[in-house]
Structure 1
């Protein structure tokens, strides 16, 4: 009996890892598509884009660095309550960074120069980011670095996730704009597409939840009711 339980647990962990990686890949495609749209980058990734443009280092590598800083801040906030298992966020940041570099390379030959096509690119990016977020959250393994930091702030100062997420996005965009102005003498990576994604990603995530998609993914991953509430 114990052997059967262990085999089932391994089976579902395999599914969870598969779903988590699919989520990161969807996120990476969403980010990369937004970079070729010319209409702006999502708030959570705009800082990596700006620093990448300034330093001429591939965006995926910069993303690894930015996410590592987020994780270190999270560790500082949580202190002893930070679980050793959550150190997997570093590995996930590296994997996501490589996915970003890979997807950007795949899309490098695509030029989007018509405004309607640029808007369509932003909408596709929005859906992919929302889908990716839903998938990796449904796997219930570890949060992505930005989400982990937001959750740490929520727990430490007893704030609502939506409120902290809003201010996190605003701070990220403002800092990115300032860095861009100082080093590029203009604002890059922040346009109407940034605002569109800031608003619509959450809407699409809620839609995927309300339609039962998230619950079906969680069942596929073998996530029990207590984990679904968490």
Structure 2
């Protein structure tokens, strides 16, 4: 199981946090965080339910992590293992995560796939999402997988869809000409854009697009025992 303690800085002062695997007793907190982190127009049916969370902790407990601060669970990140090749056809979030139930998780896969990341809005700006992303990178290395992968929302794209194609907008994000709270954050975490996926997720702000973004394991060329 995964447990790590470290300091983050709030108003210039160090605060101890714990990043660990979430458990059944955390479910109510996780659902409440989702409701605050993804308010409408984000579809309510995409918030976690307890059946999904049970699947996460039963099928792949190592990939289900949360962060504790001030004695509270204030964020979570969920993943599954899948097989992926750059030549694979496009996929949807529903398809690759089995609508968030991760029943298609496979220990024999080569890729850690990000299902979800959310932080309580009251605790944003403290780099908690980045530290949880780093935790998943460590899990990729620990399991000797080839990469971390996931589709990122583009919540600012709807404001620019009449000016740019989605590919042009992503290019401008990578050049720093525009900023997006999700894609810019993923770039800051070391994730690299792979390609645009149409109809990745029901998400009006992103015009239903997702950007497949990857972090390659720098040790993946080392032969397994």
Between Structure 1 and Structure 2, the one with more strand by share is: 2
TM-score by length of 1: 0.29
User: Quick check: which has more Rg, 1 or 2?
Assistant: 1
TM-score by length of 2: 0.29
Higher relative contact order (CA 8 A, sep 6+): 1
